[in-house]
């Protein structure tokens, strides 16, 4: 049976690799990147320890973002899984 601890031992190194690879890619591209913070969206922001891991790996403050600032079916779309789409369309 897969326990929470064994799941974490598998998932945590992969997530750490993803955060590190993203930062390395920007540095390798030679782009002048001035990250000020990382915004986690979707279910990622609710994953236990995810914001802390991102802060440790990237040395940046990390925030979570929920959809907001729109009208209509807010009770349907105001959830983490819609945050990425909302952020892409948002002008805030």
Written as tens digits, the pLDDT of the chain (92 aa) is 888 888 888 889 999 999 888 888 877 777 656 677 887 877 777 788 888 998 998 888 888 765 556 666 666 666 666 666 666 665 55
Residue 16 confidence (pLDDT)? 92
Instruction: Give the count of domains, the chain.
Output: 1
Based on the number of CB atoms within 10 Å of its own CB, is 69 exposed (0-12), middle (13-18) or buried (19 or more)?
A: exposed
Separation of alpha carbons 1 and 9, rounded Å: 14
Q: Token digits for 46?
A: 């609710």
pTM above threshold 0.85 = no
Q: Tell me which residue range forms the domain holding 78.
A: 4-89
Pairing outcome for strands 62-64 and 38-40: parallel
Instruction: Match 């002048």 to its residue by tokens.
Output: 32
Residue 50 confidence (pLDDT)? 87
């Amino acid at each position: 049976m897969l326990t929470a601890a064994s799941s974490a031992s598998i998932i945590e190194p992969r997530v750490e690799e993803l955060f590190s690879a993203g930062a390395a890619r920007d540095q390798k591209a030679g782009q002048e990147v001035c990250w000020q913070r990382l915004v986690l969206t979707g279910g990622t922001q609710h994953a236990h320890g995810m914001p802390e891991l991102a802060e440790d790996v990237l040395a940046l403050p990390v925030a979570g973002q929920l959809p907001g600032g729109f009208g209509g079916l807010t009770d349907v779309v105001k959830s983490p899984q819609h945050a990425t789409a909302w952020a892409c369309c948002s002008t805030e």
